[in-house]
Structure 1
Amino acid sequence: MSTPKSHDFSNLRVDLHSHTNCSDGVLTPQTLVDRAVNCQLDVLAITDHDTTRGIAMAQQYIRDKQMPLTLISGIEISTAWHGFEIHIVGLNIDTGNPQLQALITQQQQARELRATTMGVKLEKCGFPGVYDAAKALAGEGSITRAHFAKVLHQQGSVSTMQSAFDKYIGKGKRAFVKPGWCEIKEAIAVIHSAGGTAVMAHPVRYDLSAKWLRRLIVQFKEEGGDALEIVLPQMSPDQRRQMLTYCLEYDLYASMGSDFHYPTKWSDLGRHLTLPDNCKAVWQLWQ
């Protein structure tokens, strides 16, 4: 099914944030679609990091199999803000938009430079060949720090993927490389030029104080941002209330998504995703 320009998803099962192996997800676009249908989703957005490559594959698969799933074309753009990496999701975008494709090329070049530099730093830490292994793991998809973490874990250099971030590739660690991402304003403008909706992804995950998170949301709003992702599978009741408060206070629309990369016992497509009744759902912008 094609992306609707006018639709009310209120009574449907919706997940507006997921990843395939075209970035740092595990499943192919086709397998992700299969899983979405098995999870009884009605609407799924594919939002890979700085690429739209998986969307056409998923769309074709849905058409070929005549599957009962509405696919929302999306992307998750990495941006730089005061030393933090902030992710802006674009939903309901025209993937062929020239400005969008130009930004994707720019972001992929920055991603590759970061990856090669990280590989050099990891060699100095005593881990030769990690870049080549991470690049092979990424295949034709966007290379991310998660690929480096997975390689270090597979090689037995760290006990878990998270410990790779904690010890080596996380912010402030020996092999961390500051990314050369675009600014929030540019990401929002490009998403809008592609006819899409700009959503701040997972605000609760940025390790910001309340003061700095408010500052971020104010700037996002001032620069044309449309919505906050206020519902994720793993959020406390207090976090959900606070995100709703920000959404209402700054008159932003509300989005939700699993940020699915691979199935775990804590998170899966569509799990624990329900928007509060008193917010404006992001899909209202598409009506």
Structure 2
Amino acid sequence: MMSTTDFTNDKDFSNLRVDLHSHTNCSDGALTPQELIERAVNFQIDVLAITDHDTVSGLVSAKQTILEKNIPLTLIDGIEISTQWQGFEIHIVGLNIAPEHQALTTLILQQQQRREDRATAMGVKLAKCGFDDVYTDAKAMAGEGSITRAHFARVLLQRGVVSKMQAAFDKYIGKGQRAYVNPNWCSIEDAVAAIHAAGGVAVMAHPIRYDLSTKWLRRLIVDFKAAQGDGLEVVLPQMNKEQRKLMLSFCLEYNLHASMGSDFHQPSRWSDLGRNLVMPEQANAIWQLWQGQATPKN
């Protein structure tokens, strides 16, 4: 059995099924850590990173499941940190981190307070829209995990206010809508620094999803590089060839490593664990950084 930290230099990840971006119900995913691990096995995933939003609370039970059931899966300790850049919310994934490192723990506590403050304000705005106690229900749904806008969307869906989750964002809690609250996330620099302090590598999550022009996307990547970022997600399940080509070109131009992940939240006909994830041959894969083939920046 592969351990949860078996990163030997002679392991050829390119011949394995790798998914470096997934979520559990410790943030806005639908499955428990145990269920996610079991689904990964069913989908014949060899290497999986759990990257919940601003929390690492799902990693312990995931590891316990792997050990107790003797599951042949390499688990990468991860996190997805919400940051703020030029008025946009940019997500930075940390991979191969030490989850209990003090610098990371401190940042997580700060981010959780920011989440709580934002959620409370959203609840007030939704009440003004005529929907009482949405915060209370969303908080109960999140449990001990990170409260996210997805929890608010699910509450509105369950109440019949909207017919699908995306409609909650489009009508109420999306950017520019009546119940939207600007986040007060940390900076990209702070996120990268905490990830590096915890021994991990920092990857910009799903760059194509930020609704940026190519010019602005380049500016973002330049700033990420200046912040000592390590890599970009160049492969997602729903990307066309031109988008993958563009992301790869940025990696090559700015000497960044390439990562890939499904950004799995729940079973879907559109996306699932490991779907359409193939590392481009020209790319320097992100796992080279923790396999001793390159040196992470400090």
Partner of residue 41, structure 2: 37
| Corresponding position of 2:53 | 49
Q: Which residue of 2 aligns with 1:200?
A: 204
The superposition leaves residues 217-265 of structure 1 with CA deviations (integer Å, 9 ceiling, x where unpaired) of 0000011000000000001111111111111111100000000000101
User: Hey, what does 1:111 align to over in structure 2?
Assistant: 115
TM-superposed deviation, 1:205: 0.2
Structure 1 residue ranges without an equivalent (≥5): none
- 2:225 is equivalent to residue 221 of structure 1: yes
1:274 and 1:103 mapped to 2: Cα distance? 32
Match of 1:4 in 2: 6
How far apart are residue 90 of structure 1 and its match? Answer: 0.1
Q: Counterpart of 2:4 in structure 1: which amino acid?
A: S
Distance in structure 2 (CA, Å) of the matches to 1:13 and 1:157: 40
Q: Which residue of 2 aligns with 1:15?
A: 19
CA RMSD of aligned residues (A): 0.7
CA deviation string 1:80-115 (max 9, x = no partner): 011100000000000010010000000000000000
Identity of aligned residues (%): 69
**Offset of residue 158 of structure 1:** 1.2
CA contact (8 A) 1:111 1:143 kept: yes
Q: Is the 8 A contact 2:203 2:229 kept in 1?
A: yes
- SS of alignment partner, residue 45 of structure 1: strand
Deviations 1:258-281 (A, max 9, x none): 000001011110011001000100
- Contact 2:4 2:73 survives alignment (8 Å): no
In the alignment, structure 1 residue 168 sits paired with structure 2 residue 172: yes
For 1:279, the equivalent position in structure 2 comes to 283
Asked if structure 2 preserves the Cα contact closer than 8 Å seen for 1:134 and 1:151, the reply is: yes
2:181 is the alignment partner of 1:177: yes
How far apart are the structure 2 equivalents of 1:75 and 1:187?
10
Which secondary structure state, in structure 2, belongs to the residue aligned with residue 44 of structure 1? strand
Distance (whole Å) between structure 2 residues aligned to residue 259 and residue 285 of structure 1? 21
Partner of 1:230: 234
Say whether the 8 Å CA contact 1:6–1:286 is kept in structure 2.
no
CA distance in 2: counterparts of 1:5 and 1:105, whole angstroms: 29
From 232, 238, 245, the equivalent of 1:241 is: 245
Residue by residue over 1:45-75, the C-alpha shift from the partner in whole angstroms, topping out at 9 and shown as x without a partner, is 0000000000011011101111000000000
- Structure 2 residue aligned with 1:259: 263
Structure 2: 5+ residue runs without aligned partners?
Answer: 292-298
Partner of 1:155: 159
Deviation at 1:4, TM superposition (A): 2.7
Note the C-alpha offset of 1:144.
Answer: 0.1
- One-letter amino acid matched to 1:234: Q
From 123, 126, 131, the counterpart of 1:127: 131
Contact 1:14 1:41 in 2 (8 A): yes
Q: Which amino acid aligns with 1:224?
A: Q
Alpha-carbon distance in 2 for matches of 1:113, 1:232: 31
In structure 1, what residue type is equivalent to 2:25? N
Residue aligning to 1:211: 215
Deviations for 1:173-231, whole angstroms, at most 9, x for unmatched residues? 11110111100000000000000000000000000111110000000001100000000
